Amino acid sequence: MWDEEKKIFTEYDSCELCPRRCRVNRNQGERGFCRAGADIRAARAALHMWEEPCISGRGGSGTVFFSGCTLRCCYCQNYDISAEGKGNDISLARLSEIFLELQEKGAENISLVTADHFLPGIIRALDLVKHRLLIPVVYNCGGYERIETLERLEDYVDIYLPDLKYYSPELSKKYSGAEDYFAVAMEAISCMIEQKGEENMKTPPQGETLKKGVIVRHMVLPSHRDDSIKLLKYMAKELPREKYLISLMSQYTPFYKACEHREINRRVTSFEYDSVVKEAVRLGLTEGYMQERSSAKEEYTPPFDLEGI
């Protein structure tokens, strides 16, 4: 809640916005796992053409990359903002202006990337422009979300774009420091589908953009195709059929601290990725997107040069 007299969000007095529930006092300068302070910090706001076709569309997704992260995966391609905090602090008024500027540039939507640790401010910024913002809002996240967060977002978000990274607690602990990742993410994604899932959801025709729905992303990791297959089997069994799209990603590139883990210090092979795709088809998980292997290139990572901030 916003304290008008003190000009602070009281949730930051003992922060529990993410599943880690660090309970640090961000209003007093304390930093939790995400390393975020009390001010919103962002590294880039620009039209982004490299999302799923129904998100980027023709005009591009109006993407705002927020600094800090509740996961900080060891292979993160955005590590300079997620782990190292690159970015500028911005006011609520400035963030609301950014939303409108992206809309004026022709954005198909406003995409909030890794935003949960700034949730109170982002909601307030959206409130400032909700009567002028005419395009969908996308919540682009790592899947590691509290249900309470998603409940607050229900009236603000039109499209959920979560990752579902791992099935194995051992892998999620090793690479993302979150042993409970799968259990938390599955509960969160189920909530997202309950909120925004569409009956008989189909992949939008080429050139059309999504206005409402859920796209669950999974990036295949090198040496761990078996984990991907276990994850797909669980999805096919436990998530409601035809109420979400799936996006299987082959873009893994060894960034950041991937070199500390020999088994993931390389790109995914065609055999690894293709075997996961074949399993998805066998399970009937065919509505969505399968990436070309050529997407595993460093140039697909946007420059975090503070554009638009």
- Structure token digits, residue 93: 């008024």
Q: Report the distance separating Cα 66 and Cα 48, nearest Å.
A: 14
- Where do the structural domains in the chain lie, given as residue ranges? 42-300
Q: Give the chain's radius of gyration (CA, Å).
A: 18
- Structure token digits, residue 7: 């000009």
Instruction: Write down the residue that tokens 């195709």 correspond to.
Output: 225
263-296 confidence digits (pLDDT tens): 999 999 999 999 999 999 999 999 999 986 555 4
The predicted pLDDT at position 207 comes to 86
- Positive or negative, the CA dihedral 249, 110, 146, 91 is positive
Residues 97/246, Cβ–Cβ less than 8 Å = no
The predicted pLDDT at position 3 comes to 66
- Rounded to 5 degrees, what are φ and ψ at 220? -70, 125
Burial class of 254 by CB neighbour count within 10 A (0 to 12, 13 to 18, 19+): middle
Instruction: Write down the residue that tokens 């993931």 correspond to.
Output: 264
Residues 104/129, Cβ–Cβ less than 8 Å = no
Q: pLDDT (tens digit, 0 to 9) for every residue of the chain, 309 residues total? A: 776 767 789 999 999 999 999 999 999 999 999 999 999 999 999 999 999 999 999 999 999 999 999 998 999 999 999 999 999 999 999 999 999 999 999 999 999 999 999 999 999 999 999 999 999 999 999 999 999 999 999 999 999 999 999 999 999 999 999 999 999 999 999 999 999 998 889 999 988 999 999 999 999 999 999 999 999 999 999 999 899 999 999 999 999 999 999 999 999 999 999 999 999 999 999 999 998 655 545 545 677 777 888
The predicted pLDDT at position 58 comes to 95
The predicted pLDDT at position 72 comes to 87
* Residue 248 host element (H or E): strand 245-249
Q: What is the pairing mode between strands 61-66 and 40-48?
A: antiparallel
Query: Is domain 42-300 in CATH 3.40.50.150, yes or no?
Result: no
Contacts of residue 196, defined as CB under 8 A and 6 or more positions apart, other chains included, come to 157, 158, 159, 160, 212, 213, 214
Query: Residue 79 carries which side chain, given as an amino acid letter?
Result: Y
